[in-house]
Amino acid sequence: MRMTKKLTLVVFNPLPQRARQRRVQALCAALEAAKRAYILVATDAQMAITVATIRLHLPTVNELIVVGGDGTLHQVVNALADSHKALEIGYVPAGTGNDFARGWFGKKHSTAGYIERALHGKGELIDIGQVNDVYFINSVGIGFDGDLTRRLAGKKSWWPRLTYLTCAVKQLFLYRGGILQVTGNDVTLQSLGTEPTLLFVVANTRYFGAGMLIAPHAQYADAQLAWVHIKECRLFTKLQSFSSIYTGRHLAKSVVTSGHLTSGVVKTANIPMQTDGEYAGCTPATIRCVTNAICMRR
CATH code for the domain of 204: 2.60.200.40
| Amino acid 82: pLDDT | 85
% of the chain residues with pLDDT over 70: 94
Same domain, 151 and 117: no
Name the strands in the sheet holding 272-275, side by side, starting at the edge strand that comes first in the sequence. 256-261, 225-231, 197-203, 139-143, 272-275, 278-282
Last residue of a domain, one of 97, 121, 145: 121
Chosen domain end from 91, 121, 151: 121
Residue 296 maps to a domain:
no
- How far is residue 187's CA from residue 190's CA, in Å, rounded to a whole number? 6
The rounded distance, in Å, linking the Cα atoms of 98 and 108 is: 10
Judgement on whether residues 141 and 251 belong to the same structural domain of the protein = yes
Statement to judge: residues 146 and 282 lie in one domain: yes
Q: Are residues 143 and 285 in the same domain?
A: yes
Are 84 and 192 contained in the same domain?
no
Structurally, the chain folds into a number of domains equal to 2
192 is a domain residue: yes
The model's pLDDT over 148-185, given as tens digits with 9 standing for 90+, comes to 888 877 665 556 566 667 787 788 888 899 999 999 99
Residues 113 and 247 in one domain: no
* Residue 1, in any domain of the structure: no
Determine the pLDDT at residue 159: 64
Same domain (yes/no): 112, 141: no
pLDDT digits (tens, 9 = 90+) for 54-89: 999 999 999 999 999 999 999 999 999 988 778 999
Contact of 81 with 290, CB cutoff 8 Å: yes
| pTM, to two decimals | 0.92
Are residue 152 and residue 36 in the same domain, yes or no?
no
> Domain boundary at 92, 121, 150, which?
121
> Residue 44's domain spans which residues?
7-121
The CATH number of residue 116's host domain is 3.40.50.10330
Give 85-146 as a DSSP string: ---EEEEEE-SSS-HHHHHHTSS---HHHHHHHHHHPPEEEEEEEEETTEEESSEEEEEHHH
Flag whether 129 is in a domain: no
